Amino acid sequence: MFLHAPESDSILLEEAYTAFNRDLTNEAVNKNWITNLMTHLKWHNLIIPTYSTSDTGRRVLKGLQLTMEGKRSLGRIETAKEGDVLLPNTTYVYPSQAEKEISVSDVMKAIAKLKETHPEFEISFDMKLKSVTG
């Protein structure tokens, strides 16, 4: 299902139904199908459900999002090694310091992705040159 959207780590329910050639007019059958599918995928920590709120204030399933384990299973990220810097819910995996220095550009990209991934947080980042005395 996520193979049909390789650039995205989340899909809407309609996209999942279309990926599996489900009849979009049969909501009850699709609801049961997606519930069963989610049970298996959540058990293996591959996806998490995403929700929205209906007009009546009830939580409504909107789509599915890959977890880090799901991304790893699909080969979208490398398997982390000891010493790797791994940010939650992002596709950035940086090699350890021994293999490659992390640049300021890498950090800025990671922070931008973190802000995009977690709009519920106000994320700020300050960086200053050390004063050189001598």
- The pLDDT tens digits for 23-46 are 999 999 999 999 998 998 888 888
Which one of 3.30.70, 1.10.3470, 1.10.10, 3.30.43 gives the CATH number of domain 1-76? 1.10.10
pLDDT digits 0-9 by tens, 94-117? 444 445 677 788 788 888 888 888
Give ranges for CATH 1.10.10 in the chain. Answer: 1-76
Residue 50 pairs in a beta bridge with 63
Residue 17 pairs in a beta bridge with none
pTM of the predicted model, to two decimals? 0.53
Distance CA 132, CA 134 (A): 7
Q: Are strands 47-53 and 10-12 parallel, antiparallel or unpaired?
A: unpaired
Of the pLDDT bands very low, low, confident and very high (cuts 50, 70, 90), residue 10 is: confident
